[in-house]
């Protein structure tokens, strides 16, 4: 692409010898339509609808001196122009409804349409956070029943439904841990985080005021137990692990970790982002976990962002349940209530650290997740995790001869397969392969994460992909791996068939253009 006075424009497609042909007069490529910026389509002098002239005798607006001093400068479009603009842009995006979305650690699974239908039912879709509790008994019942399912699936006696996402759930868990330590007048300064944990874990611990110390991994991609046990002491508030970890492996020594941190008076926090790999088969509470957030969009199929706000409920052990946030949904006298205060004798929340959010939760996410759970049942959820693990191992074994799989010798993986750039020709990187994967019609996998593997490529197929879909993805990835080993120069300029060519990512990060300007 090139930048001129009127904005971004496509250059003549590179690699004409690869069958792309010459540039068209419009910039369109058959049904892949080039789309200008909305500011270039419309002008601030025009409007898509006929509006009456302002009434000169109308009373002044009651804006307290905040009236606009100059035109907003927004472009005016007709209805067909507006519809076509956003439809064309949508066709340049990738989505789970288009194909396999192999982002590792993200669990980009299919969102069942039954869930969407339920979320749009009156009483759920239009519920208001300030509605009287007597008018939202059905919504409160959904929140309560979902919470009961999450406690049963994790083997944990306490749950907080108000956290809005995974990292928010981590914050909730650590605040409960801090409250528990404060209650026994036990100030501790350190949170231990293995290198195999999610990147948000150390960020959340630091945000809570803890000093983060890293624990390394062994050659098989799991927590170094010798290093962990040597470091655990009276200054350690918590150990934050991810299980299965970011290498796609189950931490087999989790019982030993729990025993070690508990013996030192600390708590075990588990990142539940990868719960999809063990749901219905393993209960974290049985492993000694004290707190764990659950990403509803990962394990229980609620959309990632586009369908509304996220949701990251947190489950608690008996030791931490009294410190969970309020309000909590309670059933009493045949009715559901949002309880703002509780005594420890009544419900075990007498030492709550307080309110985590202004309003209780995300109704759209709750209804979708509960619909998903009820449609599967406990046995169906066990099949979900089994199929997810099966699909990941199928990819791992089919590609281990084409791509370096650093932990393949350790045995089967869990829900995601991890590869590296080892063996690529000099000067070729994971980024080159990922950009070329766009030309093959796939969203790239997670790149350069986890950090313990050089040039990491983390692939999570989830359980909702068929063998035919996996075979197509494997064929594409194997072909690109061979080209990377052979040093195919076309990889360095990929993608060639996407709406936009490869951008200068360094320049985009250092000098982003986020505001429209005619200059």
Confidence class for position 305, pLDDT limits 50, 70, 90: low
| Predicted pLDDT of residue 280 | 96
pLDDT of 350 reads 64
CA 458, 462, 466: angle at the middle one, nearest 5?
Answer: 120
Residue 475 is predicted with a pLDDT of 97
| pLDDT-based confidence at residue 469 (cuts at 50, 70, 90) | very high
16-50 burial: b if 16+ Cβ within 10 Å, else e: eeeeeeeeeeeeebeeebebeebbebbeeeeeeee
pTM score above 0.85: yes
pLDDT number for residue 66: 87
Q: Mind listing the pLDDT tens digit for each residue in 220-244?
A: 999 999 999 999 999 999 999 999 9
Grouping H, G, I as helix, E, B as strand and the rest as coil, residue 309 is coil
Is 324 a residue whose pLDDT tops 60? yes
State the pLDDT confidence band at 306, using cuts at 50, 70 and 90. Answer: low
Would you place residue 308 in the very low, low, confident or very high pLDDT band (cuts 50, 70, 90)? low
Residue 244 in contact with residue 414, Cβ under 8 Å? Answer: yes
Q: Chain-centre distance of CA 458, in angstroms? A: 14
For the stretch 53-82, pLDDT in tens is: 888 888 877 888 888 888 888 899 999 999
pLDDT tens sequence across 174-206: 999 999 999 999 999 999 999 988 889 999 999
Average pLDDT in the 216-222 region? Answer: 93
Q: Is 336 helix (H, G, I), strand (E, B) or coil?
A: strand
Predicted confidence (pLDDT) at residue 332 exceeds the cutoff of 50: yes
- Mark 95-132 as b/e (b = at least 16 C-beta within 10 Å): ebeeebbbbbbbbbbebbeebbebbeeeebeebeeeee
Mean pLDDT, rounded, for 296-311 = 81
Give the pLDDT confidence score for residue 10 in this predicted structure.
43
Two structure tokens written together for 393:
């191992």
Pick the more confident residue, 1 or 352: 352
From start to end of 50-202, where are the E strands? 158-160, 190-194
Residue 34 — φ and ψ, nearest 5°? -70, 135
Closest CA to 8 of 39, 28, 36, 42: 36
Query: In angstroms, rounded to a whole number, what is the distance separating the alpha carbons of residues 153 and 147?
Result: 10
Q: Which of 104, 303, 287 is nearest to 199 (CA)?
A: 104
Distance CA 374, CA 434 (A): 37
Domains, the chain, ordered by start: 114-371 (3.40.640.10), 378-509 (3.90.1150.10)
Phi, psi of 507 (to 5 degrees): -65, -40
pLDDT-wise least confident of 84-93, 139-148, 478-487: 84-93
- From CA 135, how far away is CA 407, in angstroms rounded? 54
pLDDT band of residue 6 (cuts 50, 70, 90) is very low
């Amino acid at each position: 692409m090139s930048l001129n006075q009127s904005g971004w424009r496509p250059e003549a497609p590179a690699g004409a010898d690869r069958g792309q042909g010459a540039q068209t007069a419009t910039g369109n490529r058959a049904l892949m339509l080039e789309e200008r910026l909305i500011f270039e389509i419309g002008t601030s002098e025009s409007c898509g609808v006929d509006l009456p002239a302002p009434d000169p005798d109308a009373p002044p607006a009651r804006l307290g001196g905040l009236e606009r001093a100059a035109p907003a400068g927004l472009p005016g479009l007709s209805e067909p122009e507006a519809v076509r603009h956003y439809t064309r842009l949508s066709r340049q995006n990738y989505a789970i409804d288009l194909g396999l979305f192999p982002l590792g650690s993200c669990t980009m699974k299919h969102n069942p349409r039954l869930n969407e239908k339920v979320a749009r039912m009156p009483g759920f879709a239009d519920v208001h956070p300030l509605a009287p509790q007597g008018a939202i008994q059905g919504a409160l019942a959904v929140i309560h029943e979902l919470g009961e399912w999450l406690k049963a699936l994790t083997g944990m006696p306490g749950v907080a439904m108000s956290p809005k996402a995974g990292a928010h759930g981590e914050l909730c868990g650590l605040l409960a841990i801090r409250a528990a330590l404060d209650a026994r007048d036990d100030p501790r300064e350190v949170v231990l985080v293995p290198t195999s944990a999610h990147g948000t874990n150390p960020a959340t611990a630091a945000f809570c005021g803890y000093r983060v110390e890293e624990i390394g991994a062994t050659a098989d991609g799991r927590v170094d137990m010798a290093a962990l046990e040597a470091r655990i002491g009276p200054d350690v508030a918590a150990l934050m692990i991810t299980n299965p970890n970011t290498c796609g492996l189950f931490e087999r020594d989790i019982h030993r970790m729990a025993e070690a941190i508990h013996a030192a008076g600390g708590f075990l926090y588990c990142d539940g982002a990868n719960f999809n790999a063990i749901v219905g088969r393993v209960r974290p509470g049985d492993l000694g976990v004290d707190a764990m957030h659950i990403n509803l969009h990962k394990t229980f199929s609620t959309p990632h962002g586009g369908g509304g706000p996220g949701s990251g409920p947190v489950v608690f052990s008996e030791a931490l349940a009294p410190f969970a946030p309020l309000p909590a949904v309670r059933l009493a006298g045949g009715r559901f209530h949002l309880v703002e205060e509780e005594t420890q004798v009544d419900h075990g929340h007498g030492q709550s650290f307080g309110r985590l959010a202004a309003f209780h939760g995300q109704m759209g996410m709750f209804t979708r997740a509960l619909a998903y759970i009820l449609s599967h049942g406990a046995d169906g959820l066990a099949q979900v995790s089994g199929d997810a693990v099966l699909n990941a191992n199928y990819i791992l074994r089919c590609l281990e001869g084409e791509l370096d799989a650093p932990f393949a010798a350790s045995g089967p993986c869990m829900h995601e397969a991890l590869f590296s750039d080892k063996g690529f020709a000099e000067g070729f990187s994971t980024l080159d392969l990922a950009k070329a994967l766009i030309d093959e019609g796939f969203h790239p996998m997670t790149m350069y994460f986890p950090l313990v593997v050089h040039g990491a490529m983390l692939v999570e197929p989830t359980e909702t992909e068929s063998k035919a879909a996996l075979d197509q993805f494997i064929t594409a990835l194997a072909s690109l791996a061979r080209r990377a080993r052979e040093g195919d120069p076309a990889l360095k300029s990929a993608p060639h068939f996407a709406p936009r060519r490869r951008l200068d990512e360094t320049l985009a990060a250092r000098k982003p253009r986020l505001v429209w300007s005619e200059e």
